[in-house]
Amino acid sequence: MNAFPRLMIAGTSSGVGKTTVTLAILAALRERGRRVQPFKGGPDFIDASYHTAAAGLPSRNLDGWILGADLNRQSFMRAAADADLSIIEGMMGLFDGSSPLNDIGSTAELAKQLEAPVLLIIDGSAMARSAAAMVSGYAQFDPAVRVAGVLFNRVSSDGHYKLLKAAVEQETNVIPLGYLRPDPTVSIVERHLGLVMPGHEQAPGLYQRLAGLVQDTVDLEGLEVLAKSCAPFPFTRDPIAQLAPRTVRIGVARDAAFCFYYPDNLELLEAKGGALVSFSPLHDEMLPDDLGLLYFGGGYPELHGAALAANRPMKQAIRRFAERGGSIYAECGGMMYLTEGIRDSNDILHEMVGLFPAEATMQSKRMTLGYRAIELTQPCVIGPTGLGARGHEFHYSSLNPKGSLTYAATVRDAGGERQGTDGLMVNNVLGFYAHLHFASQPSMATSLIASARNTICQR
């Protein structure tokens, strides 16, 4: 039995500064020599990328609706096994999820699945004794969720914090662990799909400044004690850990345009026999040698439309790979790259690879967002008819058909309502708007590797 020290960071609502607080704690604990494993509740790629930069370890996404309790626990324990402690950033408000009537898909659900104590983040900028009422309400709302500590954000002085601390200590059993002062130099710039990716327009000293922000005002020792106060739970056998020989080379697009990948997806491909080889559609003119599969994740191809369009040798190499029967799997931005073109927010059309007869058009004021459950209506590179998997959609673009489009799957949302079709398919090329989490259906990785091996055999 291993306690897996862990702490869930949850907010009273979106916008209270969960991400800033999480990054500050990760950076500060790393400076103290701790090996801290970060996690992100929900399907958000961008917050997880910031975690990775702050902690120096890949952040993992955990999600009650996409994965469920058992898979969440497996993913958590696999990544946390060698860590001194784990920090999990929740999503939205503590009890907000896919329904207003239950906790499915919420931070609270995840905290219960992991039996993790909760550190509640409150914007304390305009309150005093009312903070005690808020903490009391959150702590008592669901007795199965252990709200063990509270940290106040945007508190300007030690005197103000003492008022908040005194109120909470008198009225509740929740432990105040400090506060963060407002500091515009460590704010995370919002843009486009929500946040700028780490390294994009952020000063090099961001994480050092974040670590410094908590050194004098947050009880880091108390925070670690809180993380170690959780109960142990038994380790269950992890199917991803059963590695097969890596005999199939998989080209994974990785650069500023393509950067959204679940680590579990990549590890499942490796476990089933894939050897991952990175390449850049922005900067490379040739594909790596001897590939059986191309994997294009999501990202920001619309922000790099001109550069992607100008790299004609790479587009030609991808078309030749597909024409020879090569298997290609793409998600969201990766799927957009495989269309005839991307029309950006300035109505400028950038010519893309041209495998799918459609254009992707940016619509800055119309966002598609939500959980997605897909079911294959015909066999393709990820599996047979009837196969189901889960993931999410998050994009501002739409497809404008320029010819006949073939779709591989039907789509439903978290409530079971039909959301149309997805999975553009041309021969062995498959592109989804949905970001599918392979752990929700591990046979997808097996099918992709089998398709890649078949590609190699036919050459």
> Is 59:41 a contact under the CB 8 Å cutoff?
no
> Is 230 considered catalytic here?
no
Task: Quote the CA–CA distance of 202 and 330 in Å, as a whole number.
Answer: 28
Task: Quote the CA–CA distance of 359 and 336 in Å, as a whole number.
Answer: 8
Closest CA to 75 of 260, 265, 223: 265
CA atoms within 13 A on the CB side of 445: 26
Task: Quote the CA–CA distance of 79 and 40 in Å, as a whole number.
Answer: 12
| β-bridge pairing 258-260 and 248-253 | unpaired
- Find where tokens 């489009």 sit: 405
Q: Which two tokens stand for residue 386?
A: 């009837």
- Residue tagged active-site, from 259, 332, 380, 457: 332
- For helices 158-171 and 130-141, give the axis angle rounded to 10 degrees: 50
Task: Quote the CA–CA distance of 29 and 449 in Å, as a whole number.
Answer: 39
Residue 438 gets which letter from DSSP?
G
> Is 267:276 a contact under the CB 8 Å cutoff?
no
* Three-state secondary structure call for residue 356: strand
> Is 263:290 a contact under the CB 8 Å cutoff?
no
What residues act catalytically?
332
